[in-house]
Structure 1
Amino acid sequence: MANRLLDTWHRLQRWPAGDWLFSRAVCFKAPYFATIAPRITRLEPGRCEARIRHRRKVTNHIGTVHAIALCNLAELVAGVMTDASLPGSMRWIPRGMTVEYLKKANGPMHAVATPDVPLVEASEGYDLPVGVVVRDRDGEAVFRARIAMWVSPRPARQG
């Protein structure tokens, strides 16, 4: 079964700056993510990657990338990965997130989201834990998150 979000990603990859266009479209749909100006760089079933630059908008009082900017980045990649991995008959919503701040976050950040268990089409809802690791420019993990997604069938349309 085709996935509209994944189809849009593939269609925009044919254009120069297609990942930028896709990222802007995601931020238009979910405006709060625009506060971190993410660039989604890879999207496939079971994986989403994105980057943010280290700029004043995401910096805290000690000059590092702010903890909440890292949380926003984690929720973004987890949500986009989940959405791109599910058939159109399923929906999702985040239920909670646990995070670990491993070291000071300096420089550009690169996040990768992957599910802990396979995503499946189901007749009833289920928990889907999604792991996210954010690394700095040297490839060192600075942040880890586990996002609890609730996946369930879409209600049948009436009328």
Structure 2
Amino acid sequence: MKNQLAKIVDKLNAKPKWMRGWLLDYVLGSTIKFVGTAGVQCKKLTQQESIFVLKNRKKVQNHIGTVHAAATSLVAETASGMVVGMNIPDDKIPVLKTMHIDYTKRSTGNLRAHATISEEQVERLYKEEKGDTVISVTVTDDAGVEPVECQMTWAWVPKIRK
């Protein structure tokens, strides 16, 4: 079953290949302003997985020239939230419940966040009126190192409260 977001992404993916990425980045960045401001880019977005990239540019750097801690958490949150967003029924709202990030190593260059969701998790989104689930997300840098270990717990609630 596809929700409204998944249908929009399908329409964007039907566009010529050269404009797909730009269109998706524009739509996401104008809808989620902080994602657009930071320049988070979508490399892959399906109902099973998402990949988002954040380039190490001046506007997202810290005082030592690496991607700022807040920007690092943003790319992880975006990847995990979008894979939930692609699956959540239209009558529910996704909400980040907890974000646990351990900064374990200094990052090198750009960051890439890869998030996945299981079929069991998707089933729960449809069956349970409200609940939460931990979404698997891995962040790597240009050297292939995981500078952070993340645990993102996403909750869902009905759009209309009873």
**TM-score, normalising length: structure 2:** 0.87
Is 1:139 the counterpart of 2:144? The answer is: yes
Match of 1:6 in 2: 6
| Structure 1 residues without counterparts, runs of 5 or longer | none
Tell me which stretches of 4 or more aligned residues in structure 1 moved more than 4 Å: none
Please report how far the alpha carbon of residue 44 of structure 1 lies from its aligned counterpart in structure 2 after TM superposition: 1.2
Is 1:34 the counterpart of 2:39? The answer is: no
Deviations 1:8-55 (A, max 9, x none): 222222232312211221111111112320111111113111111111
For residues 111-122 of structure 1, the aligned pairs below 5 Å read: 111-115=113-117, 118-120=121-123, 121-122=126-127
Aligned Cα root-mean-square deviation (Å): 2.0
Secondary structure of the 1:45 match is coil
| Structure 2 residues without counterparts, runs of 5 or longer | none
Is 1:64 the counterpart of 2:66? The answer is: yes
Secondary structure of the 2:147 match is strand
The 2-side partners of 1:80 and 1:155 are apart by 21
Write the letter of the residue equivalent to 1:102: T
Does the aligned pair in 2 maintain the 1:2–1:88 contact within 8 Å?
no
Match of 2:22 in 1: 20
**TM-score, normalising length: structure 1:** 0.88
Secondary structure of the 2:30 match is helix
Match of 1:149 in 2: 154
Amino-acid identity (%): 24
Match of 2:81 in 1: 79
Please report how far the alpha carbon of residue 81 of structure 1 lies from its aligned counterpart in structure 2 after TM superposition: 0.9
Of the structure 1 ranges 26-35 and 63-72, higher mean CA displacement relative to structure 2 is found in 26-35
